[in-house]
Structure 1
Amino acid sequence: MDTLNCIDCFVRSAEAGSFAEAARRLGLTPAAVGKNVASLEARLGVRLFQRSTRSLTLTEAGERFLLEAAGGLRSLQAAMANLASAQGQPAGVLKVSMGLAFGRYYILPLLEEFLQRYPAVQPDWHFDNRVVELIAEGFDAAIGGGFDLSPGVVARELAPAHRVLLASPAYLAQHGEPRSPAELSAHAGILIRSPQTGRVRPWMLRNREGQQAAIDLQARMILGDPEASCQAALMNLGITLVSMPHALPHLDSGTLRRVLPDWYVDTGIISIHFAAQKLLPQKTRVFVDFIVEQFRAQGLDKRFSAI
Structure 2
Amino acid sequence: METLSNLESFVRSAESASFSAAARRLGLTPAAVSRNVAQLERNLGVRLFQRSTRGLQLTEAGTRFLQSVGAGLDSIQDAIAEVSAKAGEPAGVLKLSVAPRFGRKFVLPLMPAFMARYPALALDIHVDNRRVDLIAGGYDAAIGGGFELAPGMVARTLIPAHAVAVASPAYLQGRQLPQDPAALAAFEVIAMRSPQSGRIKPWLLRNRRGEQMTAELRPRVFLNDPDAICSAALLGMGVGLLLLADVVEHLESGALQRVLPEWYEDLGTVSLYYTSQKLMPAKTRALVDYVTTAFREQQLALRLAAA
The TM-score normalised by the length of structure 1 is 0.68
- Alpha carbons 1:130, 1:196 under 8 Å: kept: no
Report the more deviating stretch, 236-245 or 192-201: 192-201
Distance (Å, rounded) in 2 between the aligned partners of 1:288 and 1:238:
39
Residues matched between the structures, number: 226
- Alpha carbons 1:130, 1:195 under 8 Å: kept: no
Distance (Å, rounded) in 2 between the aligned partners of 1:200 and 1:254:
28
Question: CA offset at residue 196 of structure 1?
Answer: 6.1
Fraction of identical pairs, as percent = 51
Change (3 A) 1:247 1:83: farther
Q: Counterpart in 1 of 2:229?
A: 229
Corresponding letter in the other structure for 1:160: P
Q: Counterpart in 2 of 1:111?
A: 111
Question: CA offset at residue 133 of structure 1?
Answer: 2.0
Q: Counterpart in 1 of 2:279?
A: 279
Alignment of 1:37-52 (within 5 A): none
Q: Counterpart in 1 of 2:179?
A: 179
Secondary structure of residue in 1 paired with 2:247: helix
Question: CA offset at residue 83 of structure 1?
Answer: 5.0
Question: CA offset at residue 129 of structure 1?
Answer: 2.1
- For structure 1, list consecutive stretches of 5 or more residues without a partner in the other structure: 1-81
Change (3 A) 1:119 1:184: same
Distance (Å, rounded) in 2 between the aligned partners of 1:222 and 1:83:
58
Q: Counterpart in 1 of 2:143?
A: 143
- Alpha carbons 1:100, 1:128 under 8 Å: kept: yes
| 1:132 lines up with 2:151 in the alignment | no
Distance (Å, rounded) in 2 between the aligned partners of 1:144 and 1:100:
9
Secondary structure of residue in 1 paired with 2:134: coil
Q: Counterpart in 2 of 1:73?
A: none
Secondary structure of residue in 2 paired with 1:139: coil
Q: Counterpart in 2 of 1:8?
A: none
The TM-score normalised by the length of structure 2 is 0.68
Alignment of 1:196-235 (within 5 A): 199-235=199-235
Alignment of 1:1-307 (within 5 A): 88-173=88-173, 175-194=175-194, 199-307=199-307
Distance (Å, rounded) in 1 between the aligned partners of 2:87 and 2:297:
29
Question: CA offset at residue 203 of structure 1?
Answer: 3.5
Change (3 A) 1:195 1:251: same
- Alpha carbons 1:146, 1:161 under 8 Å: kept: no
Corresponding letter in the other structure for 2:212: Q
Instruction: Describe the superposition over 1:61-120 as per-residue Cα deviations: whole angstroms up to 9, x where unpaired.
Output: xxxxxxxxxxxxxxxxxxxxx959968521111111112121111111111110111111
Instruction: Describe the superposition over 1:17-36 as per-residue Cα deviations: whole angstroms up to 9, x where unpaired.
Output: xxxxxxxxxxxxxxxxxxxx
- Alpha carbons 2:87, 2:282 under 8 Å: kept: no
Report the more deviating stretch, 101-110 or 170-179: 170-179
Corresponding letter in the other structure for 2:235: M
Instruction: Describe the superposition over 1:122-155 as per-residue Cα deviations: whole angstroms up to 9, x where unpaired.
Output: 1111122222222222211111123432343211
Corresponding letter in the other structure for 1:206: R
- Alpha carbons 1:94, 1:140 under 8 Å: kept: yes
Distance (Å, rounded) in 2 between the aligned partners of 1:84 and 1:245:
42
- For structure 2, list consecutive stretches of 5 or more residues without a partner in the other structure: 1-81
- Alpha carbons 1:203, 1:265 under 8 Å: kept: yes
Distance (Å, rounded) in 1 between the aligned partners of 2:140 and 2:224:
27
Question: CA offset at residue 194 of structure 1?
Answer: 4.3
Distance (Å, rounded) in 1 between the aligned partners of 2:224 and 2:286:
34
Secondary structure of residue in 1 paired with 2:161: strand
- Alpha carbons 2:154, 2:275 under 8 Å: kept: yes
